[in-house]
Structure 1
Amino acid sequence: MGPAGTWSPFHADILRSYSWSVNICGRKKWLFFPPGQEEALRDSHGGLPYDVTAPEFLESHLHPVLEVTQEAGEMVFVPSGWHHQVHNLEDTISINHNWINGCNLANTWRFLQQELCAVQQEVSEWRDTMPDWHHHCQVIMKSCSGINFEEFYHFLKVIAERRLPLVKKIGPGEVRCSEDSGLGPQHAIFDISRIAEVLASVVVNPDFQRVDTSKFLPQPEDLLQQLQEALATTDPL
């Protein structure tokens, strides 16, 4: 909800999630930059602009690739990783939702690695003198991004443990996994395959290997094996 003239600064959605926004009333102007184009907007310190409509950007060639005017009753879908800035042209009420699924899960993992790298660079001068420096980097990362590597693993685990029983119950020619799940077999298999791909990258990541996983159940390597074994029993998509 926002009155005419208010706006949201230049940003990409949290954890590189997808999002949609529906206008209940009012009008908005969206300025979109596809993934990678925001790099041309960084300053000498690597920071992104707060306002891409500032004079220094309007006078340059760095214009948004896509400008959209959203009317009342219309929905805008924001792809993963697209930076954008939104202006309320009138008094506006909208409903928004963000989500992560198998299609953008790898983008989320890539974003988290970049976030941790940024934290490590910021506190690099204390690397040799701060006890548990790597642990503190994870703590700082969580305070900035809302999640760290440990919690990302548990996120993968929760989704995997909900999908694995569905895949194991799929019979020949079935078009739904179960009446309760509402998922088709290809959907469940797709999710398992994407989780397996990301988890395979997670378990070999040097920073994740520094996380204390001794109390994780199942162990990350064991969960990965379960996913791979489940995929081996299914037909390829």
Structure 2
Amino acid sequence: EYIQNGHSSPKGCLYLKDWHMSRDFPEHNVYTTPVFFSSDWLNEYWDTLEVDDHCLLVVSRTPFHADVFRSYSWSANICGRKKWLLYPPGQEDFLRDTHGNLPYDVTSAELQDGNLFPRFEEACQPLEIIQEAGEIIFVPSGWHHQVYNLEDTISINHNWLNGCNIDIMWQFLQNELSSVQKEIDEWKNTMDSWHQHCQVIMKACSGIDYGEFASFLKIIAENRMAFLKACSSGESSDYSRHLSETFTTLGPYHAAFDLQRVAYIIECLLCNEDFKRLDRSTLTLQPEAMVQQIRDTIQSTRGRHLLYQE
């Protein structure tokens, strides 16, 4: 309708992002997530919380960035063409200005100014991809990228996390908190709740703090423990239809792998000094108890259905 009515904008071609169209209009059966991308902890968590739907009208390009929480992303072009510029992890450090900031546009001529971007010449050339209609691109964790719609384009995009990159998310969160602590270090000795304020600022900047990260792990673990117990007992589980189909497709081996990864990250939390400073009474996750539950679930299901191999 936007195109047919000849609408235009001084900002150029615009597009509408609809975060939950598929969830809110299931009768339309808009698309099915490819099985390769179906282990999606991020959307599983947000769907559990029933995060409100919202839309955003934006310019038809994305500035230079890495994806939220250093998640994976996949993008499927239904129609139209996109141009991608991608840099491997670590290359972004060569693209920072003298203040440590990343450029908005990596193709800008100002990056040639050595006084502003002193390490630009050390950066490798970006991987350039033209994505055609009917093609899907996978962006690994930590790959900074910039994207242009070359023409009117409809695409389906997901950011996603799972057991294969949850450790990268945990490292990202530690780096984010460290940056906040560095910024307000001068007030450390004058504020009784300095560490708590760091968590608040971190959540405002990054969208999550250590407490919510712990809640995230709890939901992921509980869903998989319930699935494995259902496999063992033969009883049905109280999941959403989508989650039930995902678990059935991925199977008990995958659920077991996820549990082992969650247990590993929780053990990392228990060793982290900043996590130790959190008020345990405010957490939905009791980490020691959760690790023990995971171990008990693994032990109780291992022999019955040969879910694991020694």
Same fold (TM over 0.5): yes
Partner of 1:26: 80
Compute the displacement of 1:215 (Å). 4.6
Among 111, 136, 140, the alignment partner of 2:197 is 136
> Partner of 1:214: helix, strand, or coil?
helix
Partner of 2:210: 149
Partner of 2:286: 219
Partner of 2:62: 8
Compute the displacement of 1:43 (Å). 2.4
Q: Which amino acid aligns with 2:13?
A: P
The share of aligned pairs that are identical, in percent, is: 55
Change (3 A) 1:222 1:33: same
Deviations along 1:59-98, one digit per CA (max 9) or x if unpaired, are: 8353444110011222211111111011122232322111
Rounded to whole Å, the distance in 2 between the matches of 1:169 and 1:26 is 44
Rounded to whole Å, the distance in 2 between the matches of 1:87 and 1:40 is 22
Partner of 1:209: 276
For structure 1, the residue ranges without an aligned partner over 5 or more in a row are none
Q: How does 1:121-132 map to 2 (within 5 A)?
A: 121-132=182-193
Aligned residue pairs: how many?
234
Partner of 2:89: 35
Q: Which amino acid aligns with 2:98?
A: S
Does the 8 Å contact 1:32/1:67 carry over to 2? yes
Change (3 A) 1:128 1:31: same
For structure 2, the residue ranges without an aligned partner over 5 or more in a row are 3-11, 15-58, 113-119, 303-307
Does the 8 Å contact 1:3/1:92 carry over to 2? no
> Partner of 2:121: helix, strand, or coil?
coil
Change (3 A) 1:222 1:81: same
- Say yes or no: does 1:120 pair with 2:181: yes
Higher RCO structure, 1 or 2 (CA under 8 Å, sep 6+): 1
Change (3 A) 1:61 1:203: closer
Q: TM-score, structure 1 length as denominator?
A: 0.88
Rounded to whole Å, the distance in 1 between the matches of 2:61 and 2:201 is 28
Rounded to whole Å, the distance in 2 between the matches of 1:236 and 1:230 is 15
Q: Which amino acid aligns with 1:43?
A: D
Rounded to whole Å, the distance in 1 between the matches of 2:125 and 2:76 is 21
Change (3 A) 1:138 1:218: closer
Higher mean C-alpha deviation, range 85-94 or range 57-66: 57-66
Q: How does 1:81-230 map to 2 (within 5 A)?
A: 81-170=142-231, 180=244, 181-182=247-248, 183-217=250-284, 219-230=286-297
Higher mean C-alpha deviation, range 41-50 or range 136-145: 41-50
Higher mean C-alpha deviation, range 119-128 or range 180-189: 180-189
- Say yes or no: does 1:55 pair with 2:109: yes
Compute the displacement of 1:120 (Å). 0.7
Compute the displacement of 1:36 (Å). 1.5
Between Structure 1 and Structure 2, the one with more helix by share is: 2
Does the 8 Å contact 2:85/2:128 carry over to 1? yes
Does the 8 Å contact 2:131/2:137 carry over to 1? yes
Q: Which amino acid aligns with 2:253?
A: Q
Change (3 A) 1:129 1:219: same
Does the 8 Å contact 1:31/1:64 carry over to 2? no
Question: Which aligned runs of 4 or more in structure 1 are off by greater than 6 angstroms?
Answer: none
Compute the displacement of 1:41 (Å). 1.6
Deviations along 1:188-223, one digit per CA (max 9) or x if unpaired, are: 111001111111101111111111112545511111
> Partner of 2:78: helix, strand, or coil?
strand
